[in-house]
Amino acid sequence: MNDFRPGNFQGAVARFRDAIRQEGKRREIPELQAILSHERRAKALRPQWTKVAWAGAAVVALMLGAIPAYERAQERQRESEQEKADAVLLEQVNAGLARSVPRAMAPLMDWAPGN
């Protein structure tokens, strides 16, 4: 144990052990109550991660639910506009088909005998 030669490995490990143990002894040992109260303080200071996590999950769920609803509304609006456009076109087609002569010849027809 008192062999301080540099090459003495077992001695070096023993002195390392003594040094670590010495430091362990120097530290103040807390009472159990102090440990328990430290935990309570730490808990009080700790952010409410579970609440934050739940709020985040709720936001994500809302967004996930809102996106398809928004897409459905957009789709319905597009369909309604398309239907209106189709109706207008159909009216125009019907009006075109109902003419006796093409629109371009209508002025000439005014000069025709009998008109």
Chain residues in the site for another protein (CB under 8 A): 4-9, 11-13, 15-27, 29-32, 35-36, 38-39
Q: Kindly state the smallest distance separating residue 79's Cβ from another protein, in Å.
A: 51
Q: Which is nearer to another protein, 44 or 95 (CB)?
A: 44
Q: Kindly state the smallest distance separating residue 46's Cβ from another protein, in Å.
A: 13
Alpha helices (H) along the chain: 9-26, 32-45, 49-97, 106-111
Q: Which is nearer to another protein, 27 or 103 (CB)?
A: 27
Q: Kindly state the smallest distance separating residue 74's Cβ from another protein, in Å.
A: 43
Q: Alpha-carbon distance 11 to 5, whole Å?
A: 8
Q: Which is nearer to another protein, 24 or 68 (CB)?
A: 24
Q: How many CB atoms lie within 10 A of CB 14?
A: 13
Instruction: Extract the tokens encoding 30.
Output: 């807390």
Q: Could you tell me if 11 and 1 are in contact, meaning their C-beta atoms sit under 8 angstroms apart?
A: yes
Q: Which is nearer to another protein, 13 or 67 (CB)?
A: 13
- Spatial CB neighbours of 99, under 8 Å, sequence gap ≥ 6: 106
Chain Cα centroid distance, residue 69: 17
Q: Kindly state the smallest distance separating residue 66's Cβ from another protein, in Å.
A: 34
